[in-house]
Amino acid sequence: MALPTLLIVEDHKLLRMGIRVALEKLSCCVVLGEADNGEAAVAEALRLKPDVILMDVGLPGIDGIEATWRIKEKLPHTKIVMFTAHSEPEDITAALGAGAEAYCIKETPVESVAAAIASVCRGEIWLDPSIADVVIRSRNDSGNVQGITLSDSEMEILALVREGLDNDAIAVNIDRSTEKLARIMSGIINRFIEKAAISDPTHDTHTKITRTGNWLTEEQLATVKETVFDGKYAVGELLGSGGIGAVFKARHIFMDRLVALKVIRRELSEDRYAMRNFQREAMAVANLHHKNIVEIYDFGISEDNEPYMIMEYVPGSTLADLLQDKQPLPLHQALTLGTEISLALDEAHSRGIIHCDIKPSNILINQSGQNQIVKVVDFGLSQMIPKNRQTQSLLTDKFFVCGTPFYMSPEQCSGSRMDFRSDIYSLGCVMFELLTGQKVFKGKTPSETFEKHCYQAAPTLAQACPDGQFSAALEHTIACMLAKDPADRPQSMGEVRQALLKEGMRLQPS
């Protein structure tokens, strides 16, 4: 029997290559081709007509969900295995509603991906155990999953999927034939498809019809269609802007998810420096998954040739907003914020990434109940370790020196070689401001500020804020973070975090 043919759709080149090698080694399919974005996926599918498509969800251009709709319209018999890194309930229900036959989480073993390919070729539905787990956990007291009612017997099947049983074993457990099991699972999937919007992505007005749920109705979409970006993002309020671009609150109209849309200024799209930093940010954060780092969902070029980035939307304010009145924050709050920031940077450093632009406006604060959730954003100036060239050469890059001088390390100011200890100095500047309400150094010009960072000793916390009650240990920690020589600073963000945690514990009542 001939092996099924496969098209691999994945925007990360190394992962795409790894999947191809692993699947070919298992001799479970014949890989006909690859695609790295949604438009290319549709074009290659129509050209190659593969038996199966392994489809990434988060793709540049049109995403995998929209690409699946388009392919299924032209090639209804082609089987599609959704391949996603996102495991939130709303992401999973959107993927289930795309009309594919199998759904995998990217962390799943390659043998399971091969099993999914074999299952769909037999006409079966295949679910990753992690997918089933998300659906089960998102069921509410009324028995609904994202507005879809599942029976007890259907939930039993999903529970068996979650346990890792294959379709034959599940059929035996529920005393049904594999054909009957396939029909039941298809019924589950079809209800998600009924819930999802039916759209014609090629229609000029992006007309969208929906039957139920919180999706935009056709009438609602008519009011925003003039502000739909790249055919799928309804643009809302401006969240912020700078020299390179602007960030808007937006909603993915096919997945009903709030996102932050970052668009580079049109006049800069041909500027290689601006584009390099924009691409660097996407590359730096694409594989960083941490509770204190804003995630990037997508990166691409719009239909109007506008480079854009889709990021996690974080409601709330920035650390700069908290510091507007130039008053110190409560000591415990400042230490908690510093600890969370150090956690994010420790994760970035462990992946070989220096942020290079730590400052209050790049720290987002989301108030969730009594808790503050800290998110580090804007890795546009980030550098990779080890560095292949001196930072001096980067100082000719006008967007590199766009980093705010108040928070730049001596080595960054002088063009010396940088490593992760530069971020430690910048965080020291931020912590100094949180604790005192004052900047460490503030010259009349950027050059004067650079000079102070390089040659002038930093004031103590007590000198900047005589009314503050700072322990000798905290004074020592901040002074070490602000040391001119990187060798005199803490040698990791882990050390910084431990020092701040220890100080925080000292403040707790015994």
Task: Catalogue the active-site residues.
Answer: 357
What's the rounded Cα separation, in Å, for the pair 428 and 440?
9
Which residue from 134, 103, 126 is spatially nearest to 178, judged by alpha carbons? 126
What's the rounded Cα separation, in Å, for the pair 311 and 286?
10
CA quadruple 459, 465, 466, 471: dihedral positive or negative? negative
Pairing state between β 79-84 and 52-56: parallel
Amino acid at 120: V
Q: Whats the size of the chain, residue-wise?
A: 510
- Please confirm whether the linkage preceding 386 is cis (ω < 30° from 0): yes
Asked whether 418 and 356 are in contact (CB, 8 A), the reply is yes
Asked whether 13 and 35 are in contact (CB, 8 A), the reply is no
End-to-end CA distance of the chain: 73
**Angle at the Cα of 447 (from 392 to 402), degrees rounded to 5?**
60
What's the rounded Cα separation, in Å, for the pair 229 and 261?
9
Amino acid at 238: L
Torsion angles phi and psi, residue 97, rounded to 5: -80, 0
CA dihedral 24, 29, 30, 31 (to 10 degrees): -70
What's the rounded Cα separation, in Å, for the pair 490 and 338?
14
